[in-house]
Each structure stands twice: as C-alpha cells, then as structure tokens.
Amino acid sequence: MEFGILGLAGAGKTTIFSLLTGAEVPFGTGKSHVGIAKVPDRRLDLLSELFKPRKHTPATVKFVDVPPVTKGGAATLNLPELRTMDGLALVLRGFTNPQVPHPEGQLNPQRDLELIETELLLSDLTVASGRLERLAKELPKHRTPELEREKQVLERCLAFLEEGRPLRELALTPEEERVLKGFTFLTRKPLLLILNADEAEASNLPQALARWGLQELESRPRVAVTAVCASLEEEISRLAAEDQEAFLKELGLPDRALSRVLEKAYALLGQISFFTVGEDECRAWSIPQGTTAVKAAGVIHSDFERGFIRAEVVRWDELLACGSLAVCRSKALLRQEGKDYVVQDGDVITFKFNV
C-alpha cells in the first residue's frame, strides 16, 4: 500500500512525511524521498500482550514525499514514483507562520486544493491526449477491437478532464478499468486530504476542517479528509511514550492525529487486516476487502496459497477473551474455513497447507 505526498511549498508535507515514517529528510533538496509508516492497531497490541512474541509486526504504508507542486508545474508531476502509487495524500496549509510565507499569499486551503487538482488534471490531459494522437495514427494501419475500445475509453476520460473533473469521479466498468490500468492517471487515484492545522485549533481539529469547508469534501467519490497539527505532533514525538499520553490528556486529545491519518489512508484504499499469532511473531497483514482465504494465504507466502488445505479462523476479540487458541478450539470458536471463505477485518488465522 503506497501513497504519494503532495503539497505546495510551505504546507508542511515533508514534516508530516518525516513524522509518519521517522525518516530524516533535509529540506529543499528538490528530490523525492521514500519512507515506511507503521499502522497503529490496538488489536495487534493486545494480541502481542497475550502471546508475548519475539517479534511484533504491524501493517505498513509506504509514503513517497515528492517536490512541492507549483502553479503551471503539471509537467513536474510526471514522476514514475508518483504514478505508481495506490493513492495520493494532499497536504493543505491551515496554519499561519510569518517566517514561512504562503506561495499564494493568504491562507486558503480550498484554493490550494483547486490549484493542485488543476495541475493533476493538466498532467492527465497531456497523457490522454498524447495517447489519442498516437492511436489516430495507429488505427488506420492496425484496426483491432482492443485499440478501438481503448480509443473509446480514452475519449470519455478526455471529455471528463476537459470539464475540469477528476477521473476518480468517472464511473467505469471493470473492463474499462482494465483498459486504463497502464495509464496510471493521477486524478483516478484515491485522494486523502490532510489539513495541516494551526496550533490554536489542535484541540478541535474537526472545527478546523469545518472552518475551511473541507469536511464536506468527504462526500466526493474516493476522497477522505483528516487534519493534523504537524508542529504539535513534532513536539509530541520528542517526548517519551508515557509523557506523550499525559501531554495528549492535558490538551484534551484522545490520541495522536498522525494515527488517524494512517487509519484514514488504510481505509481509503479499502484495506483490512487479518492477524497471525504465536510465540515467534504477532503480525498484521494488509489485504483488500473481499479477499478469499486462499489469496490471503498467498500474501504470507506463495507456498501457502499453492498448497492451501484450510484456514483455522477466530475473531481477535474472542481469542483475547479465551486467552489461547486451545481454549477457542474447546469452545468451538476456532472455525475451519475453506479457500472461498472471505476474510473479515480482525480475523486471526492459522493456515494449513501442504506442498
């Protein structure tokens, strides 16, 4: 699961990237940076407390921090590492800092969003129109049903983009999705909007979102909205774990906003987690919603999928209540599932296989 982080200069995207991933990034390099963030999951923490494993392995999200977006800079968005991302995280500035002037003057997250979306649209327009120009030359020589279908789908996309609408709002059939897969359109990717709020609003981030009219954007297709105060999160990150909890309580915050950013990113891409447990390792595994048991087994190792026999499944909370897999089995809570079982979020699974 991979996200590209975008934003205007001075929005705080690199700070958020560093806080999410723990990567130390020098400012102003003009280069992309890659980091891995661990997804917080209280369920996994509790399972590790029960099994006391040698390894505790949470699910992860890969983030790529790309150079700042500039007005008229659509060409700079044609980055291979950005186009291969599963989603885009767009950081919008909602804080004041006289020492870091806003490139567009006054604060206005809605305007910044429109500016960046315009550059993404222009980048996709270039890709779609370029391919249609090539198809116009190819079709008279090699007219095939596949090329005709590609032309039809791209013409729909081009018309949509010319209306100023992102492709994530365009309804496509599974066949049309397959046709477009290789184009990696930026406006087709799910979009996570992150408001980098002012410290004065850190204790009421929903209010900050409402003030800038961002919360309502969550009703758009494949868009999620969240908020964080990066400067405050930076302060918290320097504290010891026990001091962090006290500091959050003092501010009246239930948890770190960065945790909610990761949870939003995870949910936006339609991911769920199942767990494997034991004395060696307790681990969360990421899979798309609707994944069958045999395909989930393949996420761990191809041998598990190839030699799949069955999956022994129990809910994470039932396992905690029982205290062991043996007790779950004695209470008939440990179910035997076949390859077509659809894995549910929070399942604890032991795969039986033979190769």
pLDDT at 301: 95
pLDDT at 75: 61
> Phi/psi of residue 203, each to 5°?
-85, -5
13-33 average pLDDT score: 81
Whether residue 100 has pLDDT greater than 90: no
Unique residue bearing structure tokens 């407390």: 49
pLDDT interval class at 76 (50, 70, 90): low
pLDDT at 317: 96
pLDDT at 28: 64
10-23 average pLDDT score: 88
The whole-chain average pLDDT of the chain stands at 90
**Least trusted range by pLDDT, from 196-200, 251-255, 304-308:** 251-255
Alpha carbon distances (Å) from 350 to 79, 87, 254, 312: 40, 31, 34, 5
More confident residue, 259 or 60: 60
pLDDT at 78: 65
pLDDT interval class at 141 (50, 70, 90): confident
Whether residue 234 has pLDDT greater than 70: yes
Burial class (CB in 10 A: 0-12, 13-18, 19+), 256: buried
In the chain the domains, ranked by start, together with CATH numbers, are 2-40+59-105+189-268 (3.40.50.300), 117-187 (1.10.150.300), 290-353 (3.10.20.30)
DSSP 298-342: HHH-HHHHHTEEEEEEEEHHHHHHHSSHHHHHHTT-SEEE-TT-B
pLDDT at 256: 76
**pLDDT per residue over 279-297, tens digit each?**
999 999 999 999 999 999 9
pLDDT at 94: 93
Contacts of 269 (CB under 8 A, 6+ apart): 1, 86, 87, 190, 288
Buried b / exposed e over 306-332, threshold 16 CB at 10 Å, is eebebbbbbbbeebeebeebeebeeee
pLDDT at 193: 96
142-161 average pLDDT score: 90
Single pTM value for the model = 0.86
pLDDT at 312: 97
**pLDDT per residue over 198-215, tens digit each?**
988 888 888 999 999 998
